[in-house]
Amino acid sequence: MAIDTQTTNTVPHQTAPRNDRLTGRARLVLFVLCAAQFMVALDFSVLNVALPVLGRDLGMSPSALQWAVTAFALPSGGFLLLFGRVADLVGRKKLFLTGLAVFGAASLLAAFAWDPASFLTGRAVQGLGAAVIVPTGMSLLTTTFPEGPLRDRALGISGTLLSLGFTVGMVLGGVMTDTLGWRSTMGLLAVAAVIVLFLAPGLLPESRTPERPRLDVPGAVTVTGGLLALIYALSTAAQRGFGGADVRGTLLAGLVLLAAFAVVESRAAAPLVSLPMLKRRTIAWGNIGGLVTFSMMSTVVFALTLYLQETLHLSSFRTGLVFGVQGIASVVAGAYAPRLIGRLGARRVLVGSLLGQGVFTAALLGVGTGSGALLATAAVSLASMCHLGAIISYGVTVTSGVPDGEQGLATGLVTTTQQVGITIGIPLLGVLATTQASLFDGVRTVLAIDAAVVLAAALLVAVGLGRRKA
């Protein structure tokens, strides 16, 4: 819908001119929405390097430190689809502001935590706030900027900041922990939430579906339970492998619940996820491309971090510089990807980006045990540029042609794909790097499988989307 200063209770007719020029107000709206997405992305990585210090401060054992990440990942991934649909019904702006308030308060609790229980509670509530912010922010973006060049550009900026947030978090977390302490990382997130919460009410328009269908409670229960079980199993497997009975049990429970969800949705009068929507080629294959690019790129970063620090023995600072170059490359890609989409179409850019990500990931196989930092920096930066192109083009592919009333559902699928992709990559492949006799051989094995998966996905997405322009 068009940028407007008035708040409405339904989705207004799109009246904004279909050009690629952003007005001053549109820039402010985009800044607020992207700042919220960047804040959540930052939260995924800013704490990672601080975990050893945090554990000593709060008295958490090394085996318990995984819960600092898992406590956030469980609700942030598990409740995305539910809150994306609830936002369609009760109002996206209203829920977005609520999520910001919850996220900010939880960040303060984590910053001032006095024991492991209070810290993990703060992290879990942070994840719940993120599960509200991400789908509502994305659906506000796609309903505020009309389909075409404006939306492509907005999604490009959002995707760039999303990718950059993970990279900046890794570097910033180390600097802040060394200079101000680990609590400053959580305090930074609280300050960011307050700033966005202050700016958002006067800038963002309200939107919801004009109809008020009943919420699909059985669907919400099964999909949320299934995602929670799946994310728990995969997050725990990243630390302890798949041998534990709790890991296998929750993994099976997650798959059963997701299968039950598909059955429920096929019979529901007002389904949480429209199965006919999932049958659209753009949505089905676009999300497959998104799942692969997120899961495989997160695995590359994990494997490369091990290689740089454990094989080449680079310091945390120099390792951060490598990923800093990667972040700059992502910004450049984010600026040009929407233009490529405008010229070539989202389908071609998605397929080409996956091909590029796979090729440059394969180039990382050329690193050695004595040298390889320069090759690693160049290859991961180029792979990240292609990864950013895949992020933006899959977002455009999935949301194009979807009515405003279903944008919350479509963007809920997009953001669920993102979170699940980020969560499953390292448990599925990263564990191979740490369980081989040689860490270097394990890293090479992970990179080889990673590249093969991305290249295979590029072929499948190209065939699946066919000749239809996304």
| Segment 260-282, tens digit of pLDDT | 988 887 777 767 676 777 777 88
pLDDT at residue 447 is higher than 70? yes
Please identify which residue in the block is written with the tokens 């590249």: 451
Q: Rounded to an integer, what distance in angstroms lies between the CA atom of residue 292 and that of residue 300?
A: 12
pLDDT at residue 7 is higher than 50? no
Question: pLDDT value at position 470?
Answer: 41
Please identify which residue in the block is written with the tokens 């659906």: 139
pLDDT at residue 239 is higher than 80? no
Contact 81, 412 (CB under 8 A): yes
Q: Rounded to an integer, what distance in angstroms lies between the CA atom of residue 37 and that of residue 27?
A: 15
Q: Write phi, then psi, for 368 (nearest 5 degrees).
A: -120, -175
Contact 100, 219 (CB under 8 A): no
Query: Residue 461 corresponds to which amino acid?
Result: V
Q: Rounded to an integer, what distance in angstroms lies between the CA atom of residue 423 and that of residue 411?
A: 18
H or E element at residue 422: helix 407-425
The pair of structure tokens assigned to 373 is 């930092």
Chain segment 103-159, per-residue pLDDT in tens: 999 999 999 988 888 999 999 899 889 888 888 887 788 777 776 777 777 777 776
Please identify which residue in the block is written with the tokens 């494997």: 303
Chain segment 35-48, per-residue pLDDT in tens: 888 888 777 777 76
DSSP letter string, 27-94: HHHHHHHHHHHHHHHHHHHTTGGGHHHHHHHHT--GGGTHHHHHHHHHHHHHTHHHHHHHHHHH-HHH
- 273 vs 99, 154, 252, 280, 406, CA distance in Å? 22, 25, 22, 13, 10
Contact 427, 316 (CB under 8 A): no
Question: pLDDT value at position 349?
Answer: 92
Let me know how long the chain is: 470
Query: Is the model more confident about 333 or about 66?
Result: 333
Q: Rounded to an integer, what distance in angstroms lies between the CA atom of residue 408 and that of residue 273?
A: 11
